[in-house]
Structure 1
Amino acid sequence: MIYRKDHIPKGTACNRRPALFMEATTLTIHNTGNEESSAANERGWLTNASNKRQASFHIVVDEREAIECIPLNECAWHAGDGSGSKSGNRTSIGIEICESGNYAKALDNAVKLVAQMLRERGWGVDRLRRHWDWSGKICPRLMYDGGKWTGWNEFKSRVAAELASKEDDDLEKAKVYVNGEKIEDGFILEGRVYVPLRAAGEALGAKVGWDNKEKIATLTK
């Protein structure tokens, strides 16, 4: 995936780049809501003369590239919660995931991009937010699933897995025992111990099941 910077100018119409300093504390995920628009199109829309909206964002990603449209140390108008000092607009980096073309690939790219950004900042997935978390807007809409937010939970899990896969050598290991017998090591991430389910289940004499379609793991004894 190509990552490039194409910042909109200061003074862009509708105050889309207010140039207000921001020290980000979270990353906010969005869907573009446009099934026909690429990352380049979304960047172009920010400076299109026919665009009358104030809304803006920091990064947009599609199946081919990610474009940084506003410097990450400046605020953008993406969270819909005003300009207060603790608002998402003033404290969070807005990342738009395009819905056009190969959305699965765009999602893959977004997972890798977000994991890299978290890693660079020493953050975990607890720093991820939905547009919904700031203003109640159903966004990222393709992760909503009728209010279950199945796609959102899966996205966070994939980002966590990407972080773990890159940092496996640096993760603190956890020795795991079942009824006094040592099994495969687990690891500690963000204060939680992750245990290999199959190894633990088999040590308990349980049947381990996995439904790949529904993403459900089961232990039956």
Structure 2
Amino acid sequence: MSAINYRKDHIARSTACNRRPGYVMNATTITIHNTGNVASSAANERAWLTNPTNARQASFHIVVDEREAIECLPLTENAWHSGDGSAVKSGNRTSIGVEICESGNYAKTLDNAAALVASMLKERGWGVDRLRRHYDWSGKVCPRLMYDGGKWTGWTAFKALVETKLKAYADTNKQEAVDVIVNKANVVFNGSKTKDGVLIDGAVYVPLREMSEKFGAVIAWDNVTKTATIIKEGV
């Protein structure tokens, strides 16, 4: 999975219109938006937050385009992006707002956004059930490019794309775990090499029957209790 250029450029607490109020937030969801501007990049959207001509009390955490993702507010603070007020359980106070740009190569931007969101879900141990639309909080038709006349087919497709990338992360981790298990260790008995052992978490595991025979013992296996018994005469 290709990496995304992710950078932090937080707006100041003194930014106009209380865009960074600084309420501590322990997020429980991630909310997806479209920027509503077909000509604006992620850098443009970040600049809009501190543009002196901007009179709106609105902000967001992350904005994504075809080239990069910019974190504009700390993810542990709230932003004004959900349109549902300032109550403690509002989307504004409990959800990370991700803006998806509409300019340039939108397919690439969507792919970047899905990869970013999948990585955020993985980091938090969440699934796609934690994703929300702006629409879910306040009824605004946003993300608008996923609306499709009320069928929300774009939203369904986006969640499926995130799910695919989340599964890819899981499969990668599974493969890495398998790679750890198959690390081999050389085992030498009285100067002669035996079969390879397996190294797991610093311990060497060897074939029980072969090593027992090296010590003059035999193995008895009880298939009912799944018990291996080592027997050595004279002991």
Asked whether the two chains share a fold, i.e. TM above 0.5, the reply is yes
In the alignment, structure 1 residue 97 sits paired with structure 2 residue 106: no
Paired residue for 1:140?
143
In the alignment, structure 1 residue 67 sits paired with structure 2 residue 65: no
Matches within 5 A, 1:167-182: 167-168=170-171
In the alignment, structure 1 residue 111 sits paired with structure 2 residue 138: no
In the alignment, structure 1 residue 120 sits paired with structure 2 residue 123: yes
**Secondary structure of the corresponding residue to residue 97 of structure 2:** strand
- C-alpha displacement at 1:165, in angstroms? 1.4
Inter-partner Cα distance in structure 1 for 2:113 and 2:172: 24
Aligned-residue RMSD, C-alpha? 0.9
Alignment-mate amino acid for residue 79 of structure 2: A
- C-alpha displacement at 1:168, in angstroms? 2.2
Alignment-mate amino acid for residue 152 of structure 1: W
Inter-partner Cα distance in structure 1 for 2:75 and 2:17: 19
Inter-partner Cα distance in structure 2 for 1:9 and 1:62: 22
Paired residue for 2:45?
42
In the alignment, structure 1 residue 27 sits paired with structure 2 residue 30: yes
Paired residue for 1:193?
none
What is the TM-score of this pair, normalised by structure 1? Answer: 0.76
How many residues matched? 171
Bigger radius of gyration: 2
In the alignment, structure 1 residue 86 sits paired with structure 2 residue 112: no
- C-alpha displacement at 1:169, in angstroms? 6.0
Paired residue for 1:52?
55
Unaligned ranges ≥5, structure 2: 175-235
Paired residue for 2:155?
152
Alignment-mate amino acid for residue 52 of structure 2: A
Instruction: Please identify runs of 4+ aligned residues in structure 1 that moved more than 2 A.
Output: 168-171
Inter-partner Cα distance in structure 2 for 1:134 and 1:166: 29
Alignment-mate amino acid for residue 39 of structure 2: E
**Secondary structure of the corresponding residue to residue 72 of structure 1:** coil
Inter-partner Cα distance in structure 1 for 2:144 and 2:121: 22
Paired residue for 2:228?
none
